Amino acid sequence: MKVVSTSKSHGGIQGVYSHASEACACDMTFAVFVPPQAKDGPPPVLWYLSGLTCTHANVMDKGEYRRLASELGLVIVCPDTSPRGPDVPDEKDNWQFGCGAGFYLDATEQPYAQNYRMYSYITEELPALVAANFPVDMSRQAIFGHSMGGHGALTIALKDPERFKSCSAFAPIVQPSTAGWSRPAFEKYLGADEKGWRAYDTTLLVEDGKRFPELLVDQGTADGFLQDGLRPWLLEEACKKAGIALTLRMQDGYDHSYNFISTFMDDHLKWHAARLG
């Protein structure tokens, strides 16, 4: 692991790091904020997954999480959204696919299967790296994210409810297998057989029996992607049928940007801190 940069903030340390990833077969960059409480013992860790076109830097620069994370004693880990590099297959004119759009799945189709293994990276490789190099209590983990990252957080939590104490999302893509901006990516990454898509679709995972005790979702009513891409009512319907406690807050007048995310970031941090103990 290489240290790209470190900077003191609110008594803690905001760092950016890189490493050679086996899962993604390229160098990957991620950010970690360690609060001042780490000097007294390992704090819990909260994973933040970013959305389409983003890197680790978007939430680090615009998410406004450090002040409250420092007060609450939370380690915040911010991975990248996809593999990157000159040898990584990409569609440079398509922001909904390729670099910046890994969708937190393990691709099975060529030429993407070698690099686009973000599910394994987020759930296996990066946690092992973080546990080995930072003062974190891996028995207390939580996860949240935005848009594509909200999709990632929800699907990862549903498939591993014993690992995560809590899960929330900002404007998640709740049914990517049918959404116009994600369905083409799923076919390219996972092939034409839609049965293989179900493992990375929140509503279908719930339909197939996956469960998580409770979820918090914030969604802006002025979000331009609300009707065609996000459709939180599908998650609401699935959770109601499954008996999953969903707190869905429709925030009047908010859009899809980090102005929306930063407004409600404190609420999500407090939600997770209360459940992490």
Between CA 250 and CA 254, with CA 253 as vertex, the angle to 5 degrees is: 75
With cut-offs at 50, 70 and 90, classify the pLDDT of residue 250.
Answer: very high
Q: Parse the chain into domains and list their residue ranges.
A: 2-276
Q: 66-117, pLDDT tens digit by residue?
A: 999 999 999 999 999 999 999 999 999 999 999 999 999 999 999 999 999 9
Q: What pLDDT was estimated at residue 181?
A: 87
Q: Which residues pair with 21 in a beta bridge?
A: 26
Residues annotated catalytic, as ranges? 147, 223, 256
Q: 126-143, pLDDT tens digit by residue?
A: 999 999 999 999 999 999
Q: What's the CATH number of domain 2-276, 3.50.50.60, 3.30.70.940, 3.40.50.1820, 3.40.50.11540?
A: 3.40.50.1820
**pLDDT exceeds cutoff 90 at 230:** yes
**pLDDT exceeds cutoff 90 at 186:** yes
pTM of structure: 0.97
**Per the structure block, which two tokens stand in for 105?**
């799945």
* Residues 6 or more apart in contact with residue 147 via CB below 8 angstroms: 51, 52, 170, 171, 172, 173, 225, 230, 256
Share of the chain above pLDDT 90, in %: 99
